[in-house]
Amino acid sequence: MAAVSRDQALSLLAAANNHGDLAVKLSSLKQVRGILSSADPSLAAELFPYLVELQSSPESLVRKSLIETIEDIGLKAMEHSSILMPVLLAFLRDGDSGVAGKSIVCGTNFFCRVLEEITMQFRWHGKVERWLEELWTWMVRFKDAVFAIALEPGLVGTKLLALKFLETHVLLFTSDSNDFENFTKEGIAFLFVMAIYLKYF
């Protein structure tokens, strides 16, 4: 990231965090998203700690916009996105149901993408990189937290999104085929090894 772009992003993040006008905050965060999206992932990650500071914003619209930014930027810079995961976990218990729901949706997309990356690395190399192991640890925490939301009393909308995550989770770990006999022994063995490797059993 060029020094000018980095300084501009820092200035915009400060505005998103401290400005008194909500419209300015949202506009600033949107501009930050654009800057980070076009930057090299490793360089954009330098600003992730400043981005995380926005989780304490009192405005729910800012928190929702932050989740959108985390999804957009984090999926492009997965190697560095572990620092963003505590925000998603915290927002699952946000007082605004819209923020909590958006966090579930964002986390679901992360979960699918991380599992896909793990599967590819495991198939090609028989192991996964350390950064991905760390990210998966966060995904397991996220999964446990969403499962708890699905099982406890709460707002219907949030619970439905939690149940949707549950459905996605089940589908990810089952065969695409409706005919179990067509699910090869090799496929079953691979899922079993993956389950053990990911500490799902």
pTM for the model: 0.81
> pLDDT at residue 187 above 70?
no
How does pLDDT run across 49-58, given as a tens digit for each residue? Answer: 999 999 999 9
Out of 3-12, 68-77, 134-143, pick the least confident: 3-12
Q: Whole-number mean pLDDT of the chain?
A: 84
Determine whether 113 is exposed, middle or buried from the number of CB atoms within 10 Å of its CB (0-12, 13-18, 19+). Answer: middle
d(CA 69, CA 63): 10
Phi-psi label, residue 126: left if phi above 0, alpha if psi -120 to 50, beta otherwise:
left
d(CA 8, CA 29): 12
In which band, very low, low, confident or very high, does the pLDDT at 127 lie, cut at 50, 70 and 90? Answer: confident
Instruction: Report pLDDT for 23.
Output: 95
> pLDDT at residue 131 above 50?
yes
